[in-house]
Amino acid sequence: MRAGQNQLVSRSVKGMTIGTPLEAILDGRDALLAVAVDGEPLPLEHGFPVRMLVPGLDRYVGACKRLTCLQVTTFDAFDPYWVRRGWSADAPAKTAPRIDTPKPSAQRRASDP
């Protein structure tokens, strides 16, 4: 890796390009290249032959199915598929978990059908 390089570009069998910030891959999270699941080769619908997954990033930045090539570059030098269409280059996953608890008035009574 050369100084200033900040993007890993992954390419799929069909030519799709995904740009992932190198910082997200090198910061200690469990980024991986998956080739199997439960001891069996990765199924085609899940990304055979290789699928890249980077936790904490939206799929268009952190996941590439049917991976064929990886290239380290810069965001200035290359805009991947979705970035060329105006999407964010770093795309943190925006999760909004919630736990709903019914109010007492919403609980069913034994006599309700």
Predicted local confidence at residue 97, as pLDDT: 64
The whole-number average pLDDT for the span 90-106 is 64
Q: Do the beta carbons of residue 60 and residue 91 sit within 8 Å?
A: yes
Question: What are the structural domain ranges in the chain?
Answer: 7-85
Q: What is the mean pLDDT of residues 99-113?
A: 61
How would you label 46-64 residue by residue, b for 16+ Cβ within 10 Å and e otherwise? ebbebbbbbeebbebbbbb
- CA triple 18-26-28, angle to 5 deg: 120
pLDDT computed for residue 33 by the predictor: 93
Instruction: Tell me what the mean pLDDT of segment 22-38 comes to.
Output: 91
Counting every residue written for the chain, the total comes to 113
Mean pLDDT across the stretch 34-56? 92
Looking at residue 75, its pLDDT comes to 86
Confidence of residue 109 (pLDDT cuts 50, 70, 90): low
Which residue from 95, 68, 91, 99 is spatially nearest to 19, judged by alpha carbons? 91
pLDDT value of residue 83: 77
Q: Band of the pLDDT at 60, cuts 50, 70, 90?
A: confident
CA 82 – CA 91 distance, rounded (Å): 11
